[in-house]
Copies of this chain bind each other. A is one copy, B any other.
Amino acid sequence: MTPNPSAPALDFDSLLSKRAKTMNASAIREILKVTQQPDVISFAGGLPAPELFPLDGVRQAAGAALDKYGPAALQYSTTEGHPPLREWIAARDDIPASNVQIVTGSQQGLDLLGKVLLDEGDLVLVEAPTYLGALQSFQPYLPRYEQLPTDEGGIDVDALEALLTRLEQEGKQAKVLYAIPNFQNPTGRTLNLERRRKLVELTARHGVLLIEDDPYGELRFSGEALPSLYRLGLELHGGVEKNHVIYCSSFSKTLVPGLRDAWVQAATPIIRKLIQAKQGADLHTPTLNQMIITELLPILPAQIEKVKKAYGERAAHMMQRMDDLFPRGALRTTPQGGMFLWVTLPGGIDTTAMLERAVSRQVAYVPGSPFFALGGGQNTMRLSYSSATPEQIDRGIAALAETIREGLD
């Protein structure tokens, strides 16, 4: 083709969609870049402990899947997902497999739910703080948000009731409430049983779809397991097809994240639209990956025990070091499972501004404010203990304590 230096250069930025113009690089992603310097002890990432991955298990499972299914393990497959995997998932809650949609990571579940549920301006209720990735998934569909106050017991359901009542009086309607009831990302908090019941009942009464994101639920290392919102919804309505709770979970935190295998369970009209949306989004979740996960299911219970034990020890160690070294007035949550701890600092300490000083002391965390849909939490931070060694916790928490004390001077 003849070079034509006068060929008009398109202004790509002006050609972007309205939703793309509102997208930003993930704040966490940019922060992680800063913290990926060698010698920095990072509590910033949310990575499962790689030394616990069932590496040989995956190797054997891949071989077994290729032996069992032959070329079909590498062929296009159905959008709904690998039937034995869907059946195993469905059996957990005694629902039909047709109410389960396999997705390419929980993140895709959230994206597809946003796609099929959210019109521009629709109101989404989220915890303050909430999972940043959910905000990123919903954002392209341009919803509005209201933040729900939270405390050690999770969402303040009385505040929720007041909000729903006010909305009703104003003739408004929330479309979706998004919640992470177990060992929430970022706070590590768990929604207590009484509030779970009230949350399910309130959202049902006010016609709000309740999206339950539960990637960590199996990783409880202390306290007693609580019923999922999904199960409470099944009980309330007496069946899967009336249940207004949409449940998302994943094999990323219990087996491995890099295969991207997760699922959504919901009433048929929702699942039907998820299938149609997923056809356009990626046709289907990789075939071999679903088969590998299915082959790994027999070792899942032992794997969960291993991960729980390690995370429980790491959390306990990090909490102990914090209690030993952090200044009075630095408050932390007490996770009963999962991967995260949340710290609220005293005074006017801005954790975003403090990060640079922390990194210079070779420790990193994620500042809390990006986890708030509508802002707030400037004095908060998220720390992950899931992939930290005892030595890293000792040195990292000591360095962080010094950084905080310096900020209080």
Binding site for B on A (CB under 8 A): 1-5, 7-10, 12-13, 15-20, 23-26, 29, 47-48, 50-51, 53, 55, 58-59, 62-63, 66, 70-77, 79, 104-105, 107-108, 110-111, 115-119, 122, 133, 136-137, 139-141, 175, 197, 200-201, 204-205, 207, 209, 227, 231-233, 235-238, 242, 244, 252, 256-260, 267, 269-270, 272-273, 275-277, 279-289
Contacts of A16 in B (CB 8 A): 116-117, 269, 273
- Of A122, A238, A273, A282, the most chain B CB neighbours within 10 A belong to A282
Q: Is the CB of B204 within 8 A of A7?
A: yes
Q: Is the CB of A258 within 8 A of B287?
A: yes
Contacts of A258 in B (CB 8 A): 73-77, 286-288
CA of A72 to CA of B55, assembled, Å? 10
- In order of increasing CB-CB distance, the 6 nearest A-B pairs are A258-B287, A50-B71, A1-B235, A12-B269, A74-B256, A20-B116
A1's partner among B53, B136, B236 (CB-CB below 8 A) is: B236
Q: Using CB atoms, name the residue of chain B closest to A66.
A: B59
Contacts of A58 in B (CB 8 A): 66, 74, 288
Q: Is the CB of A257 within 8 A of B76?
A: yes
Q: Is the CB of B175 within 8 A of A15?
A: yes
Q: Distance (Å) between the CB of A84 and the closest chain B CB?
A: 16
Q: Is the CB of B107 within 8 A of A283?
A: yes
Q: Is the CB of B62 within 8 A of A75?
A: no
A to B CB contacts below 8 Å, 9 in the list: A10-B244, A12-B270, A18-B119, A19-B116, A55-B70, A59-B62, A74-B259, A136-B280, A259-B286
A107's partner among B137, B280, B288 (CB-CB below 8 A) is: B280
What would 15 more interface pairs be, CB under 8 Å, given A53-B74, A75-B257, A75-B258?
Answer: A3-B235, A15-B117, A16-B116, A20-B115, A23-B273, A50-B74, A50-B75, A74-B256, A74-B259, A105-B282, A105-B283, A107-B280, A136-B279, A258-B286, A286-B289
